[in-house]
């Protein structure tokens, strides 16, 4: 079986200026990889006719598939469509489906003249429907090479990859069976995990690869394998995965691809428990993250963003003496925040955080990165002090959110 190779070409000055970070390529590479196609090159070029042209020549020489994103908007700097017309020696024709799609998107609103250009699609391509925007995708074939052009808007591109490109590519090529299993852990770092599973890792068969994917207090461990016999491949992978899992039980959040918030949602639903939040420094990010799972209203009742001390006192009932004596960032305060949250929100469990995320607000006694987290019920409250070391407000915010969600998850898991 020959390895099928792809090049990913992103078009647009905004990527070269560095204003926009290219997340599309990573998504496409991941998706290709999941069906056994190796994206061996990624190229970003500007909105420049000759450079795009030359790149298509080059990449199609060394790859079976060239996936292109960007340059399909209705404005003058978007040159991908006319370029592809010329490149494949074809002409634009009106596509009924694309026209209907535009009408459907605009509904009663007036459709600007230039938008109608989006209904024009090159005659020789297979058009790819876009349920999420006006720009259709295009699938060309030439000299046994496949070229796919998609919009640069991540959300539109993703829909096309999932709904059309992957299934079509799977039909065209004989591809190996790629399987992977992911274990989400929280609370231990990459090195600490490595020490625990070192001998397991050393004993892994060569064709099974282990990847560590760390992300602010969480580490995803992914086992990947490929083979020609789907059943044997799955079986071997499952065995190794179970082995790895058994070594990491106490830090495991999910073994089925669920995110922390999905795993939390499932365990809360299963145990019929509700949760409320009391957030100072994260200012709603914990509640928002919990709510990002559809159906979260079954277990998330609400929360209090207590940024000011007045809100901590008035709504959460944190005593003024506590704030005066220990400060807003203290174990005593988060304990009272947990209690106040249970009373105000009337949830079974509450999670509370108060900390200093920086860059300002630190002191010698409580430097930037000092964060107290509390989780509890009417029965008992646990607390923890984080000492974050990121010199970046957003990272401290995310790390705090992750740590709080993990404490909440472990708390709920241990309720019998």
Long-range contacts of 44-51 (CB under 8 A, 24+ apart): 44/9, 44/10, 44/11, 44/12, 44/15, 44/16, 45/9, 45/10, 45/11, 45/16, 46/11, 46/12, 46/13, 46/16, 47/11, 47/12, 47/13, 47/71, 47/77, 47/78, 47/79, 49/79, 49/83
How far is the CA of 309 from the CAs of 206, 289, 382, 386, in angstroms? 57, 24, 22, 21
Q: How far is it, in rounded angstroms, from Cα 388 to Cα 393?
A: 10
Q: Which is nearer to a copy of itself, 252 or 400 (CB)?
A: 400
Q: Which is nearer to a copy of itself, 150 or 344 (CB)?
A: 344
Kindly identify the residues of this chain, within the stretch 20-59, that bind a copy of itself according to CB under 8 A: 20-23, 25-31, 33, 38-46, 48, 51, 55, 58
Q: How far is it, in rounded angstroms, from Cα 365 to Cα 6?
A: 54
Calculate the dihedral angle through the C-alpha atoms of 81, 84, 88, 94, rounding to the nearest 10 degrees.
-10
Q: How far is it, in rounded angstroms, from Cα 9 to Cα 45?
A: 7
Scored b (16 or more CB within 10 A) or e, 49-79 reads: eeebeebbeebbeebbbbbbbbbbbeeeebe
Q: How far is it, in rounded angstroms, from Cα 395 to Cα 315?
A: 28
Which listed range, 10-18, 81-89, 120-128, 139-147, lies at the site for a copy of itself (CB under 8 A)? Answer: 10-18
* Least distance to a copy of itself, CB of residue 232, Å: 22
Query: For 115, phi and psi rounded to 5 degrees?
Result: -65, -35
CB of 90 closer than 8 Å to CB of 124: yes
Preceding peptide of 359 cis, ω within 30°: yes
Asked if 65 touches a copy of itself (CB under 8 A), the answer is no
Asked if 199 touches a copy of itself (CB under 8 A), the answer is no
Q: Which is nearer to a copy of itself, 227 or 284 (CB)?
A: 284
Kindly identify the residues of this chain, within the stretch 100-119, that bind a copy of itself according to CB under 8 A: 105, 112, 114-115
Helix axes 80-87, 49-62, angle to 10 degrees: 60
Q: How far is it, in rounded angstroms, from Cα 266 to Cα 260?
A: 10
- The 226-265 contact track toward a copy of itself, x by CB under 8 A, reads ----------------------------------------
Asked if 393 touches a copy of itself (CB under 8 A), the answer is yes
Q: Which is nearer to a copy of itself, 40 or 235 (CB)?
A: 40
* Least distance to a copy of itself, CB of residue 51, Å: 7
Residue from 329, 345, 375, 404 in contact with a copy of itself (CB under 8 A): 345
Query: For 300, phi and psi rounded to 5 degrees?
Result: -90, 115
* Least distance to a copy of itself, CB of residue 416, Å: 26
Q: Which is nearer to a copy of itself, 125 or 156 (CB)?
A: 156
Which listed range, 88-96, 136-144, 355-363, 405-413, lies at the site for a copy of itself (CB under 8 A)? Answer: 355-363
Kindly identify the residues of this chain, within the stretch 137-196, that bind a copy of itself according to CB under 8 A: 155, 190-192, 194-195
Q: Which is nearer to a copy of itself, 202 or 231 (CB)?
A: 202
Q: Which is nearer to a copy of itself, 145 or 313 (CB)?
A: 313
Which listed range, 87-95, 240-248, 317-325, 353-361, lies at the site for a copy of itself (CB under 8 A)? Answer: 353-361
Q: Which is nearer to a copy of itself, 249 or 394 (CB)?
A: 394
Here the tokens at position 139 are 């699938």
Here the tokens at position 30 are 């991941």
How many amino acids of this chain bind a copy of itself (CB under 8 A)? Answer: 99
Here the tokens at position 232 are 């044997």
Q: Which is nearer to a copy of itself, 1 or 192 (CB)?
A: 192
Kindly identify the residues of this chain, within the stretch 371-390, that bind a copy of itself according to CB under 8 A: 389-390
Q: How many residues does the chain have?
A: 416
Residue from 213, 230, 232, 415 in contact with a copy of itself (CB under 8 A): 213
CB of 286 closer than 8 Å to CB of 275: no
Q: Which is nearer to a copy of itself, 38 or 173 (CB)?
A: 38
* Least distance to a copy of itself, CB of residue 404, Å: 13
Kindly identify the residues of this chain, within the stretch 275-314, that bind a copy of itself according to CB under 8 A: 277, 279, 281-288, 290-292, 294-297, 300-308, 310-311, 314
């Amino acid at each position: 079986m020959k390895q099928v190779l792809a090049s990913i070409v992103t078009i647009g000055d905004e990527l070269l200026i560095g204003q926009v970070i290219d997340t599309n390529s990573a998504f496409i590479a991941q998706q290709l990889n999941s069906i056994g196609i190796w994206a061996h090159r990624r190229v970003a070029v500007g909105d420049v006719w000759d450079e795009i042209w030359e790149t298509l020549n080059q990449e199609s020489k060394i790859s079976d598939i060239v996936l292109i994103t960007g340059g399909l908007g209705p404005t003058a700097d978007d040159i991908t469509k006319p370029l592809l017309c010329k490149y494949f020696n074809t002409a634009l024709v009106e596509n009924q489906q694309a026209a209907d799609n535009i009408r459907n998107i605009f509904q009663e609103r007036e459709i600007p003249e230039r938008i109608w250009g989006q209904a024009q699609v090159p005659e020789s391509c297979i058009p790819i429907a876009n349920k999420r925007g006006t720009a259709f995708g295009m699938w060309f074939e030439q000299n046994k090479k496949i070229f796919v052009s998609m919009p640069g808007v991540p959300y539109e591109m993703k829909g096309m990859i999932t709904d059309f490109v992957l299934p079509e590519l799977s039909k065209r090529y004989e591809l190996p069976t790629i399987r992977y299993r992911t274990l989400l852990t929280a609370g231990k770092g990459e090195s600490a995990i490595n020490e625990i599973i070192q001998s397991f890792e050393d004993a892994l068969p060569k064709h099974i690869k282990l990847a560590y994917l760390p992300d602010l207090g969480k580490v995803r461990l992914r086992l990947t394998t490929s083979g020609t016999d789907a059943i044997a491949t799955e079986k071997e992978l499952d065995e190794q995965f179970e082995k790895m899992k058994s070594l990491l039980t106490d830090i495991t959040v999910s073994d089925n691809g669920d995110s922390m918030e999905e795993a939390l949602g499932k365990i809360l639903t299963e145990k019929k428990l509700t949760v409320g939040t009391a957030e100072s420094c994260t200012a709603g990010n914990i509640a928002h993250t919990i709510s990002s799972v559809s159906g979260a209203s079954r277990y998330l009742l609400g929360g209090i963003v207590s940024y000011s001390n007045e809100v901590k006192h008035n709504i959460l009932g944190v005593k003024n003496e506590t704030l005066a004596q220990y400060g807003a960032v203290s174990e005593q305060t988060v304990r009272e925040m947990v209690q106040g949250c249970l009373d105000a929100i009337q949830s079974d469990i509450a999670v509370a955080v108060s900390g200093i995320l920086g860059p300002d607000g630190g002191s010698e006694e409580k430097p930037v990165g000092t964060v107290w987290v509390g989780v509890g019920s009417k029965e008992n409250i646990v607390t923890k002090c984080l000492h974050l070391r990121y010199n970046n407000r957003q990272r401290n915010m995310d790390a705090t959110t992750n740590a709080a969600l993990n404490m909440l998850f472990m708390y709920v898991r241990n309720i019998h």
